[in-house]
Amino acid sequence: MTSHPTFQAGGIRYDDIAPRYSAARSMSAETADTWATLIGSFIPKSQPATVLDLGCGTGRFTTLMAERFPVRVIGVDLSLGMLHRAASDVKQGDVYFSAASAESLPLHDGCCDLAWMSQVIHHVVDRQACARELRRVVKPDGAVLVRGTFGDRLDSCPTYFRFFPGARVVASQVPTIPDVLQAFRAAGFRLAAFQSVPQKTCNSLRELADRTRLRADTTLVLLSDAEFERCQSELERAAAKERTPEPVIETVDVLIFRPHA
């Protein structure tokens, strides 16, 4: 009988995968441009802005925002291992890091123009407490952008799930869009917009295999070693046979929240 992997918010030890996370989740220049364009449209132009990168991990978006925009960026994460890596990677910009939970932010009321959450909402143990904290620290005319894969939107990563079907089982257990909407609406936010953004995750199956081999993703960490090795071997065999590399395209959803007046 096959056992199915079980996801639980707060159950992943990100300190363990911090050394290899950046390599597994790096963005190409093209993909970075895609996200910078979206993020930039929510950054006020009339004043120096403060952006909260909540669940910043190793700081890939913290760095992107600090380098592209004249903003102060505050990266918050629970994992000290991820934060140490983030701090060592940042080379320029007005950047600060803090170890804290999403449910208890070490920030003053109304200090942030924008809050960015990338692939992190499923790790938050108490989503309503997190949403209340964001409502407290985000300015009345600010915004919260929640980027991720949701449990009711699993057609976004067809190539990845084709080779790692167990990863789809894990992803089906993360919060759905209605789950997230409920938490944020109860905290005083409204859904201002919803966007599905295509991104080129990898240039080929070979690049995908190089990344998944690092096993720095929640959906891979929760697979048994035997299942991971079997699926990884199938992907590497397919990559070896790929004569004309084709990009791996994923669609990532973004929920855009604004505080109620």
183-192 pLDDT tens trace? 999 999 999 9
Of 27, 72, 65, 28, residue with least CA distance to 49 = 72
Distance CA 35, CA 46 (A): 21
225-230, long-range: CB within 8 Å, 24+ apart, which pairs?
A: 227/166, 228/164
Give the pTM. Answer: 0.94
Q: Which residue has the higher pLDDT, 5 or 197?
A: 197
Mean pLDDT of the chain: 93
Confidence of residue 1 (pLDDT cuts 50, 70, 90): very low
For 52, the 3-state DSSP assignment is strand
Identify the three-state secondary structure at position 83.
helix
pLDDT of residue 11: 79
Q: What is the pLDDT of residue 57?
A: 94
Q: Are 73 and 94 in contact (CB under 8 A)?
A: yes
CA dihedral in degrees (219, 220, 221, 223; nearest 10)? Answer: 100
The predicted-structure confidence for 16-46, as pLDDT tens digits, reads as follows 888 898 888 888 889 999 999 999 999 998 7
How far apart are the C-alpha atoms of 25 and 217, rounded to whole Å? Answer: 9
